[in-house]
Amino acid sequence: MELPLLTADQMREIDRLLVDEFSITPLQMMENAGRNLAVVARRLLEGDLLDRPVVVLAGRGGNGGSGLAAARHLLNWGAWVQIVLTHPPEAHTGATAQQLAALQAVGAPLAWAEEGWELPPADLVIDALIGYGLRGDPTGPARNLIELANSSAAPVLSLDAPSGLDVTSGGLGLPHIRAAATVALALPKRGMTVDPGRDVCGELYLADIGVPPLLYERLGLTVAPLFARDPLLALHVETGRAWVSAP
């Protein structure tokens, strides 16, 4: 089933419409995205999370909030999870702050990017730093964490897009994540299907975050019911095209 490809502006409009016209909250979207991300993490770790070390790198925006939701699921499923934030807890607001509070309530191990900090050993690193919101090269704490992730021997699983990828053009900021796998949300982004962007996405999945078909219709997009059998699908791309199949 071939799919429409989204730009960053279209994805922003989808997020806006979900909240303003369809009463689907950011917290709901984060929960959907985070659970699907955690499921893919479990698959990459051969189906067994018990005591497996996972590092979750989380920004303070919506992408980071979804990463925090994934961290909570992974903890519940028995993984040893270290959460590394771009900013201290008090800098988080809205739904992302709620996700962080839920982790703090269960005593999840938290750290944030500071000079001289190093990633602990891990079997998997989850990149939930930037997502589709990139403008220009990554800077500040996100830049530092991207460089640390790239220096890790562990594979990287990215949420929605590898941090540093321009999801509209396929261009790559410096630095950028080279992911072993990426979980795209709602629909694939155009930049995942063209060079050099598609080369840094790794194995691709498409996850349901609860977008109603009517919303796509309002944007002039034709999207058949994708997730009738599974909320997580294998995503395949070639230049300028993307389609799905059951994973």
What are 223-236's pLDDT values in tens digits? Answer: 989 999 999 999 99
Residue 29 forms part of a structural domain: yes
List Cα–Cα distances, 42 to 30, 144, 192, in angstroms.
18, 26, 23
Residue 1 forms part of a structural domain: no
The predicted pLDDT at position 246 comes to 62
What are 167-224's pLDDT values in tens digits? Answer: 999 999 999 999 999 999 999 999 999 999 999 999 999 999 999 999 999 999 999 8
Q: Look up the CATH number of the domain holding residue 177.
A: 3.40.50.10260
User: What is the layout of strands, in order, in the sheet containing 110-112?
Assistant: 110-112, 80-85, 53-58, 124-128, 156-159, 181-185, 203-207, 232-238, 241-245
Residue 121 forms part of a structural domain: yes
φ, ψ dihedrals at 161, nearest 5°: -165, 145
Average pLDDT for 70-84? 97
Residue 241 forms part of a structural domain: yes
The boundaries of the domain holding residue 183 are 8-245
Residue 3 forms part of a structural domain: no
Amino acid at 187: L
Which token pair is 177? 């994540």
β-bridge partners, 130: none
The predicted pLDDT at position 47 comes to 93
Which token pair is 222? 């034709």
Report how far residue 68's alpha carbon sits from residue 85's, in angstroms, rounded to the nearest whole number. 9
The predicted pLDDT at position 131 comes to 87
The predicted pLDDT at position 136 comes to 86
The predicted pLDDT at position 115 comes to 62
pLDDT for residue 247 is more than 60: no
Residue 125 forms part of a structural domain: yes
Give how many domains the chain has, as a whole number. 1
What are 1-35's pLDDT values in tens digits? Answer: 889 999 999 999 999 999 999 999 999 999 999 99
What are 100-145's pLDDT values in tens digits? Answer: 999 999 999 999 887 667 888 999 999 999 989 888 899 999 999 9
The predicted pLDDT at position 180 comes to 98
Residue 223 forms part of a structural domain: yes
Looking at every residue in the chain, the average pLDDT score rounds to 95
Residue 2 forms part of a structural domain: no
φ, ψ dihedrals at 52, nearest 5°: -80, 130
* Peptide linkage before 175 cis (omega within 30 of 0): yes
| DSSP letters spanning 114-179 | -TT--PPP-SEEEEES-GGG--SS--HHHHHHHHHHHHSSS-EEEESS-TTB-TTT--B-SS----
